[in-house]
Every structure is written in C-alpha cells, then in structure tokens.
Structure 1
C-alpha cells in the first residue's frame, strides 16, 4: 500500500520536534522524553543538524557508571596509584551527558523521500524514527507511527472508493 503512496517525508513529518544537544545533561533529556511521551529524541549540533539519536534503548543499556573497558583504562592509567577524586568526579559528570550514550549512527532523509522508502529504511535498519533534513538543518521527524497513520488514511480512502 505504501509503495503506491504519493506521500513524502514532508507530508508525514512532525514539524515541532523536541531536540537535545550532545552536552545536554541526561536528566534533562530523560525529563523531556517523559514530558513529551516520546521514545527517542534527536541530538543536534549548534547548526541544527542531527548528529545522533537518544532512545529508550540507549537509556536501558546505560548503567550510570564506568563501562568495563573504561574501568580497565582507568586502572592502567593509575598504575598502582589512587586517582584523584576530582578527576573521577569530572569523568563521571561527562558520563551523565547525552554524548555518553547517544546512538551516533543517525539516519536522516530529505523532505522529498517517499513513504515507501521511509518504510524500507525503518524495516531494514530496525529504526523507529528519522530526522528530515533540508539545507543542513533538521526540519522535522518521521516516525513509524506517522507511517501507520498514513496507511490508515489510505486504507480508509480505498474503502470509501469501493463503496462509491
């Protein structure tokens, strides 16, 4: 059904998108996600270009302390000495920012991307949302729910045409 659709990303996208930056505190990002009932939030640079996504999955994988690999490096860095508490505190504060856990492999599309291509991207890349970018800046976001709404609208129109 969507392969016959004339809808594009621009037709389907949400235009008012909540975003965060890599240096946003995780607590702030989580609060925004909860307040807006969203499962993922684009991470944009200063120019408004998406550089990553922060998702519920990222939050579930995050445990708030050093990873095993980070702990190994810190142990070798100290080499028998205690690391300064202020140094460890600074490292921990960095791990409490969006940049510490965001998914950097962000897929984005142009406003002209057809609905069928969006569906293919969601399925093949196992993603739930894509930022829509024009001239190096995010102008919207299309989610799987947006595609479902478009499909429902097309099915309703098809049923109405059959009854006529």
Structure 2
C-alpha cells in the first residue's frame, strides 16, 4: 500500500508544500488566501510547529453563523486546536481511517515536528481508486495467464 511520502511526491508542485498562516493573522487574510489558492484548509503554524488548522468549515460555523467580523478576528479564535497529523511513513489506508473516523477533510503531514505536507480527502480517494485499478489490472493479467 502507498505511503504518505509517496503520495506527497505525486502531488503537483504548487500543492506539494502547504500554505500556512500564523495564529495572530486575521481571519479575513486567511479566507482571502484560501480563495486565491483554491484551497479548503490552511495549517496554523507558530515557531515552525503546527498549532492548529483552519478550514472553510471553521469559517462558516464560527464566523458566518455567529455574525462575527473577519477583519478583526484572529485565526486563533476559530482554528481547530486539536489537530490530527500523520507521518510520511503512514499508509494511505490508515489516513483514510483517521479522516473517516474524525470526519476530517485535511490532514497535515508532520516529520520530526516539522510540517512537510497537507493531504486532502480528495488526494486519498484518488490514490485509493488508482490502487484498485492497479489491483484489477494485475488480476486480469493473472486470469489471462500473463503474470508469472
């Protein structure tokens, strides 16, 4: 099964290194960044360490629905503080289980305490489909007597 490190290498260059924000940045800056980059979540980093993550879901639930102003609210007030992370050696299937069980759409990838990537549920689903296609191909070759 594919590892997180292998999956990160498959991502196109513009999405390989995640955009990050600081906890003291204003929410308006973050949603502007997410709109410009067409991304759904941004890890929040302080002193090189992931201290949170802010997503479109956080924005809608903690800002819009409560009528708060994006301009004067720091990210630290709406970010998810307890962030699930994965390591480069973790398997895609394990990441899917974490996302499914936690109802998450994004997983920061941390190596020795440093953020090295960000996986979306779309990344994992795409890889799971590709893995199934490879397995089907191998089974068809076996049935036809083409593999040894």
TM score, norm. by length of structure 1? 0.73
Looking at structure 1, the residues matched to 87 and 17 of structure 2 have their Cα atoms a distance apart, in angstroms, of 16
Tell me the residue number matched to 2:109: 132
Please state if 1:64 is matched with 2:68. yes
Which structure: larger Rg? 1
- CA offset digits 1:59-102 (Å, max 9, x no partner): 1121316xxxxxxxxxxxxxxxxxxxxxxxxxx93xx1111111
Q: CA deviation at 1:16?
A: 1.3
Q: CA deviation at 1:10?
A: 1.2
Counterpart mapping for 1:44-55 below 5 A: 44-47=45-48, 49-55=49-55
Q: Unaligned stretches of 5+ in structure 2?
A: 142-148
Looking at structure 2, the residues matched to 160 and 53 of structure 1 have their Cα atoms a distance apart, in angstroms, of 38
Q: CA deviation at 1:52?
A: 0.5
Q: 2:6 aligns with which of 7, 11, 19?
A: 11
Q: Secondary structure at the match of 2:138?
A: helix
- CA offset digits 1:93-134 (Å, max 9, x no partner): 3xx111111111111111111112101100111111111111
CA RMSD in angstroms comes to 1.6
Tell me the residue number matched to 1:37: 38
Tell me the residue number matched to 1:101: 78
- 4+ residue runs of structure 1 moved beyond 4 angstroms? none
Looking at structure 1, the residues matched to 5 and 129 of structure 2 have their Cα atoms a distance apart, in angstroms, of 18
Q: CA deviation at 1:155?
A: 2.1
- CA offset digits 1:129-160 (Å, max 9, x no partner): 11111111101111111111111211221232
Q: Unaligned stretches of 5+ in structure 1?
A: 1-5, 66-91
